[in-house]
């Protein structure tokens, strides 16, 4: 019996060609959905600082060009710097809490140097993703996102009063209220494509109300040409002589870059799951490719002097769900259109003229989504007492420190600003608590061997001794031993039969938990994913052939099986429950 299609609406998968008229229609929708948020996020990052209008035009232009090029790169299959799916990139508003003080103190040149250096943590994250997975846990990643939203909100709210001299204050409240009312109503009630345009329509409604109160300035829009490029002299370079301000603000940038990089891991997972008709386990090599392209995009953004970026997975996934088109050809076309639209100065001027109260309302919606995404990330991994305590303490500590001057009073201005950031302090607290949980867990036990049949005896002895030390009964001990045997057998089934091939090393780690043991088998990467085999078996008739016996037995003995593929390494995690002897 054939496996049923899960995503029935997918008409074209990434590897399938899409007809030219349909590709063009999807590309126009995608580019239009991406351009407005990109320009708005640049305005959020740079417009609240002391920068000239010409520099804002330059920053938006470079953001559109760079994000368009990296969207094309994301779509391609180019090894470590690609995702292989039509995933759009765009500017991020998560850096406001860091970019505003950087612009105030040192201007765009200081902000550029901080972006360049800070983005390197994403390169390190992609390189060693498999090694930090037990420290940068969902609790830590979710806490980071919640802290970013809570820290960015105060300076954004301050823009509510950013109106021309003499304009009525009631106009600011009316414009912001109209934006929120229209955007939230459409987002919560409208179906399909209209929901994607809810923010843009809400901003349009807010601008109309602002114009009625004399807040919207049409002068720069009317004066801007229809076609052209900004002058390169608007670029202010990079500060190559970092001072105290650089080192004070760098930790905040590192934390936000780390948070957006970790979020990119989830984006890569969601994109792979959305773009296929049939279920397929996540290929973490493609996830690493996304983190790499995000780092590259941020590096280029720092050099060019524009806002940091993140993946626009929500827009990309929604576009695929609505159109049913995940073909790579659409990703190429969307990226090319973004570059073309960057050369329309009147369009950029129209977006940059959006009044402060309207921008304030738009960003508050965005921050609400970021906060709830962080909360969802914390909960999705299973929220027990320890994890809830760690997340709660870290968030509370970050908010408390960020809204007080205790470190500045105790340590002086330089060290006080370094440690007094709510994002930095809260994230450091979350990481320390994550390390503490890892250290206070029962001691992990390890066994090293070659990935070969000869490893069966030492693995069986290793697991038998572990079960005895835990006091498990005979049935639980046999289930643990069988799970270890079938995991090894399943991995060996993926091996090449070349007698000249060099044996690969295998590391088996056993972590006792409450009433269970987590087994982790780490070896060199292979093309086939164990979770794909198990998912396929779930959709087949119960008539296994000899090649599938090990997989079916493993599914029977283990409570959960996860197979994560990284570049140069794969990790198979098996969780087995057990009972103590009575």
250-273 pLDDT, tens per residue? 888 888 888 777 777 767 777 777
If one counts the domains in the chain, the total is 3
Do 374 and 248 share a domain, yes or no? yes
Do 197 and 344 share a domain, yes or no? no
Do 35 and 83 share a domain, yes or no? yes
- End-to-end, the C-alpha distance of the chain in Å comes to 45
Going by C-alpha positions, the residue among 28, 57, 52 that lies closest to residue 42 is 57
Q: Is residue 431 part of a domain?
A: no
- Please enumerate in sequence order all residues whose Cβ is within 8 A of that of 452, keeping only pairs 6 or more positions apart, or say none: 492, 503
Do 225 and 331 share a domain, yes or no? yes
Whether the model pTM is above 0.75: no
288 and 15 Cβ atoms separated by less than 8 Å:
no
Tell me which residue range forms the domain holding 204.
Answer: 167-216
Do 479 and 525 share a domain, yes or no? yes
Q: How far apart are CA 539 and CA 7, in angstroms?
A: 15
Do 368 and 283 share a domain, yes or no? yes
Do 342 and 470 share a domain, yes or no? no
Do 157 and 293 share a domain, yes or no? yes
Q: What is the DSSP letter of 524?
A: -
**What integer pLDDT is reported at residue 5 of this predicted model?**
45
Do 139 and 173 share a domain, yes or no? no
**What integer pLDDT is reported at residue 3 of this predicted model?**
43
Q: Do the strands 89-91 and 309-311 form a parallel or antiparallel pair, or are they unpaired?
A: antiparallel
Q: How far apart are CA 436 and CA 134, in angstroms?
A: 12
pLDDT tens across the length of the chain (582 residues): 334 445 667 888 888 888 888 888 888 888 888 888 888 888 877 765 556 777 888 888 999 999 999 999 888 877 777 788 888 898 887 777 778 778 888 888 888 999 999 888 888 877 776 667 667 777 887 887 788 788 777 777 777 777 777 778 788 889 889 988 988 888 787 776 677 678 788 888 988 998 888 888 777 777 778 887 887 777 878 888 888 888 888 888 888 888 777 777 767 777 777 777 775 666 777 777 888 888 889 999 999 989 888 888 777 877 887 788 888 899 999 999 999 999 988 888 888 778 888 888 887 887 787 788 778 878 876 677 788 888 889 888 888 887 777 777 776 666 666 666 777 788 888 888 888 887 777 778 888 888 888 889 999 999 999 989 888 988 889 889 988 888 888 777 655 544 445 567 888 888 887 788 888 888 765 555 555 555 544 544 444 444 455 666 677 778 777 776 666 566 778 888 888 876
Question: H-helix or E-strand containing 489?
Answer: helix 474-492
3-state secondary structure of 446: strand
102 and 234 Cβ atoms separated by less than 8 Å:
no
Do 230 and 151 share a domain, yes or no? yes
Q: Is residue 158 part of a domain?
A: yes
3-state secondary structure of 512: strand
């Amino acid at each position: 019996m054939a496996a049923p299609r899960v995503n029935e609406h997918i008409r074209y998968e990434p590897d399938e060609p899409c007809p030219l008229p349909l590709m063009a229609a999807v590309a126009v929708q995608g580019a239009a959905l991406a351009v407005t948020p990109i320009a708005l996020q640049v305005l959020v990052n740079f417009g609240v600082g002391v920068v000239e209008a010409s520099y804002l035009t330059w920053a938006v232009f470079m953001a559109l060009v760079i994000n368009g090029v990296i969207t094309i790169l994301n779509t391609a299959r180019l090894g470590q710097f690609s995702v292989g799916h039509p995933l759009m990139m765009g500017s991020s508003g998560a850096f406001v809490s860091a970019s505003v003080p950087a612009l105030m103190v040192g201007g765009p040149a200081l902000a550029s140097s901080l972006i360049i250096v800070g983005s390197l943590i994403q390169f390190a994250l992609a390189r060693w993703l498999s090694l930090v997975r037990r420290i940068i846990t969902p609790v830590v990643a979710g806490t980071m996102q919640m802290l970013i939203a809570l820290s960015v909100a105060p300076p954004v709210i301050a823009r509510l009063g950013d109106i021309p001299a003499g304009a009525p204050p009631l106009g600011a409240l009316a414009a912001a209220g109209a934006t929120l009312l229209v955007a939230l109503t459409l987002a919560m009630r409208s179906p399909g494509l209209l929901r994607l345009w809810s923010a843009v329509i809400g901003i349009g409604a807010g601008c109309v109300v602002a114009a009625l109160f004399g807040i919207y300035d049409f002068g720069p829009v009317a004066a801007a040409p229809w076609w052209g490029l900004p002058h390169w002299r608007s670029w202010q370079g990079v500060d190559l002589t970092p001072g105290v301000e650089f080192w004070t603000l760098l930790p905040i940038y590192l934390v936000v870059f780390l948070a957006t990089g970790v979020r990119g891991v989830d984006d890569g997972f969601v994109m792979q799951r959305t773009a296929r008709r049939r279920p397929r386990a996540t290929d973490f090599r493609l996830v690493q490719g996304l983190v790499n392209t995000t780092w590259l995009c941020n590096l280029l953004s720092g050099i060019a002097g524009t806002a940091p970026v993140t993946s626009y997975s929500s827009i990309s996934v929604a576009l695929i769900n609505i159109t049913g088109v995940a073909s790579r050809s659409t990703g190429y076309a969307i990226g090319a259109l973004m570059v073309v639209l960057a050369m329309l100065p009147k369009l950029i001027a129209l977006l940059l003229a959006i009044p402060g109260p309207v921008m304030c309302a738009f960003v508050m919606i965005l921050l609400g989504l970021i906060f709830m995404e962080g909360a969802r990330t914390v909960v999705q991994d299973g929220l027990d007492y320890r994890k809830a305590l760690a997340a709660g303490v870290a968030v509370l500590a970050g908010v408390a420190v960020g809204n007080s001057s205790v470190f500045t009073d105790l340590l002086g201005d330089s060290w006080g600003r370094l440690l007094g950031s709510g994002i930095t302090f809260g994230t450091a607290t979350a990481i320390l608590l994550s390390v503490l949980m890892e250290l206070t867990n029962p001691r992990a036990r390890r066994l090293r061997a070659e990935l070969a049949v000869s490893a069966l005896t030492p693995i069986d002895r290793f697991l038998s001794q572990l079960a005895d030390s835990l006091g498990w009964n005979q049935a639980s001990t046999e289930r643990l031993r069988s799970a270890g045997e079938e995991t090894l057998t399943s991995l060996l089934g993926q091996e090449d039969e070349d007698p000249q091939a060099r044996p690969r090393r295998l590391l088996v780690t056993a972590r006792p938990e409450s009433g269970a043991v987590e087994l982790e088998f780490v070896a060199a990467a292979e093309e086939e994913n164990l979770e794909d085999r198990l998912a396929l078996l779930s959709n087949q008739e119960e008539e296994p052939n000899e090649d599938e016996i090990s997989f079916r037995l493993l599914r029977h003995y283990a409570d959960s099986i996860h197979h994560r593929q990284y570049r140069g390494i794969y990790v198979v995690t098996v969780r087995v429950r057990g009972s103590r002897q009575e």
